[in-house]
Structure 1
Amino acid sequence: MKHKFSFPLSGAILAIMAVSLYLDACSSLEEEQELSNSLDVNVVEPVERDFDEIKDRGVLRMITRYSSNTYFLHQGVEWGFEYELVRRFAKEHDVALEVVVIGVGENPYDMLNSGQGDLIAGNYTTTPERKKYVDFTHPYNLVDQVVVYSSEIGDPPPTVDDLALSGIPVTMRSNSSYYHRIQDLWEDSTNISVNLVPNQKDTESLLFDVSRGKYSATVADDNIFQASAKYMDGLVQGPTISENDTIAWAVRKNASQLKKEMNRFLSDHFQFRSEGKDPKRSLFLDVLKQRYFEGGRQVAEYYSPSPDMEKSGSLSPYDELIQTVADSAGLDWLMVTSIIAQETKFDPMAKSWAGAVGLMQILPRYSQVTDTTMLYNEEVNLREGVRIINNHLDHYSYIDSTDRWSFALAAYNAGEGHMADARRLAIDHNKDPNEWDNVADALLKLMHRSYYRNARYGFCRGIETVRYVREINSRYKVYKNIMAMEDYNEDEALPGVLGFFN
């Protein structure tokens, strides 16, 4: 049986998961099949880390792509169907959620099995090919695979057989569940022409390319198509090639405890009914479905940002101001942005129960600004916050650069007094007080009376401070990854991360 392939020589890819080089044409069918069947997995022996260790560490790491239906930033705040669902699971088990964005050229299966993350949450269909390398949880969605045409092709073929006869190439990735379905159709002698592109291309970016006529057709899950069609012009739904595919999280094959806990969680939110009926979803899952696939404000503005949003920056409404102030103080503006996201989610009018105010939650008694009302001014507040952070960094200047920021962040959150207590406690336990992990452990001990009754500054909610530091550092890594994509695309004259779909 002979199948039709066409390979573009070059092209622009969406900055969300950008890569500009296309695959060269294969010289034989055997080479084509080797390419198409490969998930490019290199790490096949998973690390030993199951739910107990995740609980002890207090962090669940979620591997995902940067897209409107998985994880994205809107006005500096984190959103996404997968992000909110996994965050709910993490919260129920009292662990922090750390997002690991798949970078250019990175393989999610290798990232999972090497221990960079604990699950892949990316709207993944369970397929036999994927199950060779990872295990899957209980499903949390059912989707149909539909062909999506560009409106520029005229009258689109209405059936799968008509599509095969038309010779119109359907553009897709070789590691997608869509391609596996196409291979099944080939076995049934339905010769659909396929145009393979790099595995870094995601469904959303391919839909965009189809909407502007770069490609004639692609395949998408029906929920992703329906969400995209609300904000992308030029998309026409074609025939269904697969029905009721199960969407699930991927975990390591040896993470049976984690899978068990996730299955228990997902079963509370998604259950199959009798044949022919829609599955039963919890209210929470229905809300997420409405928000991300049926048209929420955040997703609409992700696709079609207003002029004011476009001017606000890629990460937050205050990118330009943060860069200016941080640069003048010699600080990394991405770290400052991450602190503000943690403190107030970029709300300049925020005020805490303790009296901390403004973007960076400045306590007036520690401020050099005498007029407290001025701390609600974004620039004044930002300069005060940066000044205080710099003081903490100077205070710990003798500490290794890797840990120095963690110490400064902890002091910013808990105060230098509690930090001094924690460091003394670390010494009492014969541990190096200049290593963050040791001090973090001591901060947790200061929540217990047997330790804090002998501490100079008394009780400390150490778990909050440890999480504060961990989440800021985690978000900082995400920001760096996003900006690396932005820089890459700027160098390649490709579209930017946000403000793109206008």
Structure 2
Amino acid sequence: MHSTPRYFRATLISLCLLLTACGQSLPEWRNGKLVVIVPESSWGARAEFERELVQLFADHLHSSVELIPSPQDKIDRSLRRHHAHFAAASLRSEINIDSLHFGPSYQTVREQVICGRTPRLPRKIAELSGNSLTVVAGSAQETSLRELRDRSPNLQWEARRGLSASELLQEVADGTADCAVANELQVADARNYYANLVTAFDIGTPSRLAWAFSRDVDPDLLREAKTFFARIQQDGTLNRLLDRYYGHRNRLKQIDAAAFVTSTERDLPEYRSLFQEAADLTSIDWRLLAALAYQESQWDPLATSYTNVRGMMMLTEDTADRMGVKNRLDPRESIIAGAKYLALLKEQMPDRIPEPDRTWLALAAYNQGYGHLEDARILTTRNGGNPDSWTDIKKWMPLLNQPGYYETLKYGYARGGEAVILVESIRSYYDMLKRLDSESVAAETKPISYSLIEPLKRLLR
């Protein structure tokens, strides 16, 4: 039986969803039901970010929400036909001003031409001649290219439908395309997997991303959106959300990302079942536990630090005794004890602290101790921050090594900056494992996608 090509599958799904919305008139948003177009799940963090932002807006309106995933090149038409109340799909607010109305801008990103490593890297539009250039159809990046064509009439590109920017960047990394256009956030994420991607140059002016409404949008709905964004900008919710999805993405150097992906192929299979066993015992995602272990020991069960912290999860003697560990160098004992200790730290947190901040704070405590985390929270409060938000705490925790700060706190000196680096690195490794694991499940092959590993191996040679 022939499989349906991915583009047609994505299109059929989107059409079915849109037709479902068309089968009945668009519900009145005042009656408690929003219908919103969002990016397809292949957009990864961007799709998750937009969906969470929409849910917050629905909560603001005390509404339920129906999400309709859609390719970007279908959004304009769908809004004009009133298939949805608005589109939360990272659209460039400068585009389609005749047919769409935009809400407040909530993020600014640079659009970039990305190429594979080559002796003759193009540094301006004119030098793209002879190179293939791809872009997601209907995206903000394609709009930027259209604007550039007014000044560079010979500029050519291929607008790809049914593919995400990350998939286009993979084609560049694999050598099946010369260059692609993506925004800086998409590029930062892709570089964790494809070490041979190079930024050639920025194009146009930075894009201001915003939600899109039809030109005849109900003014009251647009007014509510403006009120909502003003509130979440003022109270810090928007910054925390942006940090949750993007704040850690530039933490890893390419060489670190390359070594990690190679290690997932070489070392992780031996210990994966142990991480899964620990996950079953603690209800903590095995991939998070694996990311923590890699940050601590690079999955080396015999690792030992100069302070005599030892084993896969780098347990201190006190922690090992507390968790009933007999041999810190036994990988199973270490992984299960480390997982239980992390779960214990999470349980100690005040009930009001939500996820994922609860996990990030627990990881910081895993590194520096719960007392020093409490000191960091107190310091954050003193300086007007939110003691329950990792985004705020990580600004102040590094100051625990300065006498002017730690001398005023209960637990004294701590290497707070080390904890921040640890948490942010684990977040990056965790994101990478989630993607690598999902690709391996989809492919039903080895635990890690070969196409992701090979470009990174080349960096290590």
Q: TM-score, normalised by structure 1?
A: 0.44
Structure with greater proportional helix content: 2
Of structures 1 and 2, the one with the larger relative CO (CA 8 A, separation 6+) is: 1
The structure with more radius of gyration: 1
Q: TM-score, normalised by structure 2?
A: 0.48
